[in-house]
Chain A
């Protein structure tokens, strides 16, 4: 797309030609849009200011859109810029999601370390499934990634069942910053309950307990929440530490509910123990509003990075591979190397998106990463516009708004009309089947009428606006 500027603005240097924001007005609009995005949760009902101007539903919607924008932007690097098809993107998201969850649950990683590690892991696995691109392309490659879409969930489901829980949902702890020091440090060596006040949705207390010495049988240690109930080991705010023999050596719990917490211990006769209980304040991202401030800036940053990659040598190599790989090879471009780079980058994006999805939902299930989701993401990309920096944003927003706003509005009418027209249809079946029909239909319409997607229309509109009042 040629850069069209308002009348009177000319590119006189290479830097000007390549710049992201050519005029001050471009920059202003972008920054305003970013600030507006950041303000949204502050105005929501459950936001810290409690203004109630925007429904909570929209905060969640924007966060989910932002997560999928990251994933689809990864797909855009692979499909839009490099011209390779991937039908296994949801499986790569699954690696990011399960990888980060397992790192946090089993190895005690925090969100901040689990995010890059799981993203890199996903990238490496993406490289592996990109290897067939050495020999095959086109829909042969689609086949290879289709294999990834089946092999990866299978591995997560059966051989790694101990870690992932198989088909059962897996709980994920909330991200924290902190705890900042420990403001209380109690030594326990008897069965008197340790009672304290804690809890706040944003500035939470992290209660942790570590057994330092055990004589005889292991003590049974329980944590009681403000309702008086015992916190189960599977609670997603609870992380249990075990030694090599599988015996519990301690736990860490994030108290989000305000109230009185108690730690109790039951010891068998003749046994003794010594433990250290700690409490510390930490900044919690357990609420949707708080998670928003991780997801949205990260999403914007990754969008910007993808936009920048397209301007570098690597990005130009990607595009030349897409346009004609044989010609690119003749120009001295290492085609296979750049294809692998695209696979790696795309998988890293998918891994980040998967990780964010895990921590936003606090719960994971393999069902969230089916083949349908891969196809859905491809559809989002095509509808938005493959190969355009903003394509992912447009596509995801279009599909999500369609799903979360249009379908609920349409459903009651469809439920009325369809059974009347076709008496053999059962109402139960309609609700779950609207989704595939609707976005399959949307994809068909876009492929036939506007294969270049919404982003192309947007570019045309932008040019028309910039050169107004002239036609060209």
Chain B
């Protein structure tokens, strides 16, 4: 028996997967039997659209994990803070110049001292810093309401970089050499602090972030109706335009960051560092600076995701829960895989939408289904679909 089991282990595993998939399909078939085909297609499409943003969130978590081996539980709150900063520049009519100057100064300070505080002693660096502060402040405040997109994007980028660098410098960097457990706790502590700070600064009320509006009428877009497929599917399929735009932007950001990792020297250095820190150091890369850049990049990713999510479903503290739903996506795709993050995000998006579709009264989609997937992934395939198998040495 045992010999048989060991000999056909691979085949048996695949048989198990096949049976499980068949069972899930049978269950779904029964559940979906009385539903209209149009509604099923609609759920599938909105699942993919929602999943695009999830993929972007997952990318941020994967980037940090690849570079420094820290799983960032604070990513959701970084999303919230990023979205809120964007809102502050976008929806507030009068931008206060001292506030913008303060933000630019803090950001430039953190950027210029990434190597060491002493680098500020050099006159040349001081000059660069002053120029940077001036340029950022002007970009954030120049013109009136018609330039709000520029203000908001520059402000959100500056804010995200500031948050990423501050988090890395003051909380993650002192932990180098500590066990992984400490780092996990640290990100939880950061999440709590960001939670409190966001709540103090922006409150718990849902804010209106009108970024996905029709520029002509200044209203929300009307939905897309797939009338052409009406006969085939037995009903009209409706797709929300906000979700489509958010999805496209998420894809653009995703592709942009992949290009950044592949073609820029900083991106290459980040990938080299994530492969082997000591080797990277030995060829002359500054590992500390690269880790700082990684956190800044992740914070920017979080901000983009926060803005897109906030624009699509409304900006409030609740969008931090998105990151909790993305954790299963990260594990499903594999902790080290950038492509896996995207696919995991899409799968979780589809699972969530179908959960809501099948049982909308009990919040199965958002509160239960992703975590059941998480448990299954952990038990069946802990390394995820595309993750590296870990080999341990004593």
B12 within 8 A of A: no
CB contact under 8 A between A139 and B180, given known A147-B374, A436-B196? yes
Q: How far is the CB of A326 from chain B (nearest CB, A)?
A: 5
CB contact under 8 A between A139 and B71, given known A144-B375, A437-B196? yes
B190 within 8 A of A: yes
Return chain A residues, CB-CB under 8 Å to B186.
Answer: 443-444, 447
Tell me the bound Cα distance from A144 to B372 in angstroms: 10
CB contact under 8 A between A440 and B190, given known A132-B378, A144-B374? yes
Contact B184 A139 (CB under 8 A): yes
CB contact under 8 A between A154 and B192, given known A135-B382, A326-B392, A433-B199? no
A375 within 8 A of B: yes
Contact B182 A144 (CB under 8 A): no
Contact A429 B204 (CB under 8 A): yes
Tell me the bound Cα distance from A340 to B380 in angstroms: 18
Return chain B residues, CB-CB under 8 Å to A58.
Answer: none
Contact A430 B192 (CB under 8 A): no
- Interface stretch (choices A205-213, A282-290, A390-398, A418-426): A418-426
CB contact under 8 A between A436 and B203, given known A150-B371, A151-B371, A327-B394? no
CB contact under 8 A between A437 and B197, given known A138-B181, A326-B392? yes
A146 within 8 A of B: yes
Return chain A residues, CB-CB under 8 Å to B202.
Answer: 429
Contact B371 A436 (CB under 8 A): no
Tell me the bound Cα distance from A324 to B193 in angstroms: 33
| Size band of the interface chain B makes with A | 35 or more
A441 within 8 A of B: yes
CB contact under 8 A between A433 and B185, given known A150-B367, A151-B371, A448-B174? no
Tell me the bound Cα distance from A440 to B197 in angstroms: 11
Q: Of B184, B200, B382, which one neighbours A85 at CB under 8 angstroms?
A: B184
Q: Of A136, A154, A158, A435, which one neighbours B378 at CB under 8 angstroms?
A: A136
Tell me the bound Cα distance from A432 to B203 in angstroms: 10
B331 within 8 A of A: yes
Q: Of A136, A324, A438, which one neighbours B382 at CB under 8 angstroms?
A: A136
Q: What number of A-B contacts does a CB cutoff of 8 Å give?
A: 138
A303 within 8 A of B: no
Q: Of B178, B195, B378, which one neighbours A144 at CB under 8 angstroms?
A: B378
Contact A378 B200 (CB under 8 A): no
Return chain A residues, CB-CB under 8 Å to B368.
Answer: 150-151, 154
Return chain A residues, CB-CB under 8 Å to B392.
Answer: 326
Q: How far is the CB of A319 from chain B (nearest CB, A)?
A: 15
Chain A residues proximal to chain B, CB less than 8 Å = 79, 83, 85, 131-132, 135-136, 138-140, 142-144, 146-147, 150-151, 154, 158, 324, 326-327, 371-372, 375, 378-379, 382, 418, 422, 424-426, 428-430, 432-441, 443-444, 447-448, 451
* 8 interchain residue pairs of minimum CB distance: A440-B192, A437-B196, A433-B199, A440-B193, A436-B196, A443-B189, A147-B371, A158-B362
A-B pairs with beta carbons under 8 Å apart, 24 shown: A132-B379, A135-B378, A136-B378, A136-B382, A138-B181, A139-B181, A146-B371, A147-B371, A147-B372, A150-B324, A150-B368, A151-B372, A375-B188, A375-B192, A425-B200, A426-B203, A428-B203, A432-B204, A436-B199, A440-B196, A443-B185, A443-B188, A443-B189, A447-B182
